[in-house]
Amino acid sequence: MSISQTVTEYLYSLKVRNLSMNTIKIYTEGLVSFQKYLLKNGIEEITEVTVQHLRGFTSEIQSTSNSGGTHCKLRVIRSFHTYLMREEIISSSPFAKFTMPKNPVSIQPHVTLEEFQSLIIAVNSGEKPYRDASVLYLLADSGIRIAELINLKIEDLLFDKGLIRVMGKGRKEDFAPVSRDVMRKIKKYIQLERPKSVLPNLWLSNSETPMSYNSFFQMLVRTYKRAKLEVKGFHAFRRMFAVNVVKNGASIVTLQKLLRHSSPNTSYLYAVLNIDDKKSQHLLYSPINNLRQ
């Protein structure tokens, strides 16, 4: 079977599984680059792919991608071959003899508590202080993804239960706990700033239309500039949530459930502590520091 045909069928299977558009885009980009590499090297049939081709492809993408990007593309290709094995399109996978390159765990930027306080002060001088504060508090308090926040509807706010209903990855319905104080801030936004509208969307612009990702991002950039801080993306708030949950004593398993990850390994990547965090945790938990003098 041709590589082109198997790639098309695999991508269709991902759509059937209701994976998010972002996930499908990542898989598509990885498979297209792999397909181009194979065709450039005269490989048209999927059964002709060997471990040597995997090594050659790895070498090629390492010249243009960082370790994280390389690892991401190789995971896509590995998943593709797992599918081919399951569908009995190939009898053996070249990954059986392939060693994945190491992907060093790096400390990803997160919003510190001091930065968060500065951002909250900054939104007070903005045009929509209740809305913007609600957005930042909700991201930091629940750890939800920006796509989940953007798609929130009024009916998703379960005020009496302290929960919000979110549509997670793979369009899977789930619930995220939210602090009572944050729920009160969202209520204030609805009462004082949200335009009166029949639309179900929680976040509305001045023109009474649902806010887009660009609208949220522009709001975030304006807030960072007013706070005179270097801009960090929305995912930095999700990492802020993860780092502080672990610092406050939660286990990785608990963090996994709160972040709604399928694997604790993914959650671990969110909770890598920087050097100052390590020092404070060492001070707290060191057996010598805790000896009775």
**Three-class HEC string of 172-192:** CEEEEECCHHHHHHHHHHHHH
User: According to the model, what pLDDT value does residue 292 have?
Assistant: 52
**Long-range CB contacts (< 8 A, 24+ apart) of 77-82?**
77/30, 77/31, 77/34, 79/27, 80/6, 80/7, 80/10, 80/27, 80/31, 80/34
Residue 104, pLDDT > 70, answer no
Residue 27, pLDDT > 50, answer yes
In this prediction, residue 293 has a pLDDT band, given cuts at 50, 70 and 90, of very low
In this prediction, residue 276 has a pLDDT band, given cuts at 50, 70 and 90, of low
126-143 in b/e form (b: 16+ CB < 10 A) is eebbbbbbbbbbbbbbbb
**Long-range CB contacts (< 8 A, 24+ apart) of 106-109?**
106/68, 106/272, 107/272, 107/273, 107/274, 108/235, 108/236, 108/239, 108/269, 108/270, 108/272, 109/232, 109/236, 109/239
User: According to the model, what pLDDT value does residue 19 have?
Assistant: 79
Residue 272, pLDDT > 80, answer no
Q: Please state the pTM of the whole predicted model.
A: 0.69
User: According to the model, what pLDDT value does residue 69 have?
Assistant: 87
Bridge partners of 166?
A: 174
Residue 263, pLDDT > 60, answer yes
C-alpha 211/C-alpha 138 separation (Å) is 16
Residue 104: other Cβ atoms inside 10 A: 8
- Which H or E run includes 167? strand 163-167
Phi and psi of 163, rounded to 5°?
A: -135, 155
> DSSP letter at 103?
-
Which has more confidence, 177 or 170? 177
User: According to the model, what pLDDT value does residue 103 have?
Assistant: 73
C-alpha 173/C-alpha 156 separation (Å) is 11
Average pLDDT on 56-75 reads: 91
Between 74-78, 101-105, 111-115, 278-282, the lowest mean confidence (pLDDT) is in 278-282
Average pLDDT on 170-197 reads: 91
Helix, strand or coil, per DSSP, at residue 163: strand
In this prediction, residue 280 has a pLDDT band, given cuts at 50, 70 and 90, of low
Length of the chain, in residues: 293
Tokens 């181009």, residue located = 36
Residue 274, pLDDT > 60, answer no
Helix, strand or coil, per DSSP, at residue 265: helix
Average pLDDT on 97-106 reads: 81
- Domains belonging to the chain, first-starting first, are 3-97 (1.10.150.130), 113-279 (1.10.443.10)
What does the mean pLDDT of the chain come to?
Answer: 88
Which has more confidence, 172 or 209? 209
